[in-house]
A = this chain, B = another copy of it.
Amino acid sequence: MSVWLDKIKWNDDGLVPVIIQESGSGHVLMHAWMNRESLELTNTTSKATFWSRSRQSLWVKGESSGHYQTIEKIQLDCDYDTLLITVKQEGGIACHTGRHHCFFMTLEDENWQTNEEILKNPDDIYK
């Protein structure tokens, strides 16, 4: 029943890196980690559920912000150790800073330039 989970090469901490990509736009929204339980939950609930390494707990993306990610496709790579998950992003905001995605700093002349608009004030997201 969980043969598909056994195929994954979990790292020493029992985790795999996960790339979250938005369907339609193709934007890479964020990068996070899943353990076996969070991936199984992600698949059964169709809501992206991660493992928070800082809090050492399951983390349903959107549980406090409302910015859930609805699963459209789960893909595994040639090394069986990374997932690419295509989602519909609720609210169009994936980043806790209120931006569309997390990769908002771009390297220009050896400086990180912030060039992505804040769509909603985090104080209004997490209240």
Binding site for B on A (CB under 8 A): 1-4, 7, 17, 19, 21, 25-28, 30-31, 43, 73-79, 82, 84, 95-97, 99, 102-107, 110-112
Contacts and interface: CB of A to CB of B under 8 A. Distances in A.
* Copy total for this chain: 2
A79 B105 CA distance: 11
Contacts of A95: 78
Given A28-B84, A112-B4, A112-B7, A75 B21 contact: no
Nearest to A2: B110
A4 B78 contact: no
A107 B31 contact: no
Contact of A31 (B43, B82, B112): B82
B17 A31 contact: yes
